[in-house]
Amino acid sequence: MNPLSLFFKKQYAIEEKIQRLLRYLEDMAQLYQAAYESYLDGSFEDLNQGNVELGKIEKELDDLGRQIQMSLLHESLMPDSRDDLLWFLTKMDKVPSSFKHSLSDIVLEKPEIPEDFQLPLKNMLVHTHDAVKALANATDALFSDLRAVRQHVEEVGRQESMVDKIEYKLLQSVFEDEKFELARKYQLKGILKQLGAVTNLAEDVADAVLILATKHSS
């Protein structure tokens, strides 16, 4: 047993909850990618099941987030750190919601994805998953080793930029290709934007992590 845990029980408990939250976030990213890919491969049922499971994890994640917030408010962390953490958690909370919204829209709209979009979309999903994983690593470093935060944040930025590039190319082909009707163009644009929004949010949160790390190490 770590002897320091006797002195810092409250801090260790909050850290453990944040670790669980990050694991849930990574699980969501994996589930999102798998469900989305199933749909691209033609299995609507797997998408539906993935969406249900994603909902369950999101609920657990919400509960855990609330528990952390309550701990922060009641366990009398220093006001400065507490306010920073609450601000960060509020930002972080938007990432799982974006997974849920994106997948729910697919379930609801069942969009017809053009054949030549499948591979780039799968690439986007891989980069999205990697961006969220890097975000989880950056957040983990915020609570374990501030020196490692920057490299993970930069990784989030790299993945986001890859997603942006693919998204832009796909949007270009959507609006340049005459075979799509206007309604379909906007439907595909919505789907692509939803998918791109996940990494945009991940980048926003990663920036917040970097701000906190810089603030607390200077």
Partner 1 sequence: MLDPTVLIFLSSGLFLGWSLGANDAANVFGTAVGSRMVRFTTAAIICGIFVVLGAYVSGTGAAQTLGKLGAVNAIGGSFMAALAAGLTVYWMTKLGLPVSTSQAIIGSIIGWNLFSDSYTDISSLLKILSTWIICPLLSAVIAALLFSVAKIFVRKMGIGLIRFDGYTRLALILAGAFGAYSLGANNIANVMGVFVPVAPFPDMQFGQGFSISSAQQLFLVGGLAIAVGVFTYSKRVMMTVGSELMTLTPLAAWVAVMSHSIVLFLFASERLEQLLANMSLPTIPLVPVSSSQAVVGAVIGIGMLQGGREIQWPRVHSIVKGWVITPIISCLLCFVGLYFLQNVFQQTVQRASNYELSASVIEKFQKEGIETDGLQELDGKVFQSSAEVVRRVKDMVSLSSKQGLKVVEYSLQKSLFVTAEKIADLDKNGLSSAQLEALSKLEGQTYNFAWQLGDALAAISPEWIVLGGGLKNKLHDRGIKQKLAYLYRNFQRRER
Residue numbers of the site for partner 1 (CB under 8 A)? 7-8, 10-11, 14-15, 18, 76-81, 84-85, 141-148, 212-213, 216-218
Nearer to partner 1, 6 or 182 (CB): 6
| Backbone Cα Rg of the chain | 19
Of 14 and 192, nearer to partner 1 (C-beta) is 14
The least distance separating partner 1 from the CB of residue 149, rounded to whole angstroms, comes to: 8
**CB of residue 11 to partner 1, shortest distance in Å:** 4
Question: On the CB side of 165, how many CA atoms lie within 13 Å of its CA?
Answer: 8
Beta carbon of residue 188, minimum distance to partner 1 (angstroms, whole number): 41
Q: Phi-psi category of 110—alpha, beta or left, where left has phi over 0 and alpha has psi -120 to 50? A: left
| Residue from 50, 18, 47 nearest 137 by CA | 18
* Nearest distance from C-beta of residue 152 to partner 1, angstroms: 13
Q: Whose Cβ is closer to partner 1: residue 41's or residue 80's?
A: 80
d(CA 23, CA 13): 16
The smaller minimum CB distance to partner 1, of residues 48 and 81, is found at 81
With 0-12 / 13-18 / 19 or more C-beta atoms within 10 angstroms meaning exposed / middle / buried, residue 18 is buried
SS3 110: coil
Query: Do 27 and 96 contact (CB within 8 A), yes or no?
Result: no
Shortest Å distance, C-beta 70 to partner 1: 15
User: Judged by CB, which is closer to partner 1: 37, or 84?
Assistant: 84
Cα–Cα separations (whole angstroms), residue 142 to 35, 51, 72, 114: 30, 30, 16, 41
